[in-house]
Structure 1
């Protein structure tokens, strides 16, 4: 199992979606992705499609509170199962 955990310090900043897309494309064998400090309350379907255009991952997030926080996690459909 291979994963990526990254303290991205604001997922909405310019170039972040492209950077994540490149990471996913370069490392085909990633089973999960976790982004910390996203500083976003919500991730729209459009935003998720920019990161994962082929829909390889199931995405969930926890919104930020105050001036820090926020987590985005993606789990690959074909290798892992989500139970709850």
Structure 2
């Protein structure tokens, strides 16, 4: 038996699933993230999105919540964001 605890399982659908997307602080980065997320989560509430610049202002993090419907949705969303070349990290 392992002493490492197992990661908690997510039950789907999962409302208010938090996502943080970090990329270069460009004028249209927020819009790009919103458009990409809405492809996978059309019910995204954009009024709940928060932005934070890095200390140096080089990066911008976009925090949002979606209703996650399954692992496949989350995988495709992550792939689309990362494939853009504009995203550094998705948490």
Q: TM-score range by the shorter chain?
A: 0.3 to 0.5
- Under a length normalisation based on structure 1, what TM-score does the superposition of the two structures give? 0.37
Whose Rg is larger? 2
Greater helix share, 1 or 2? 2
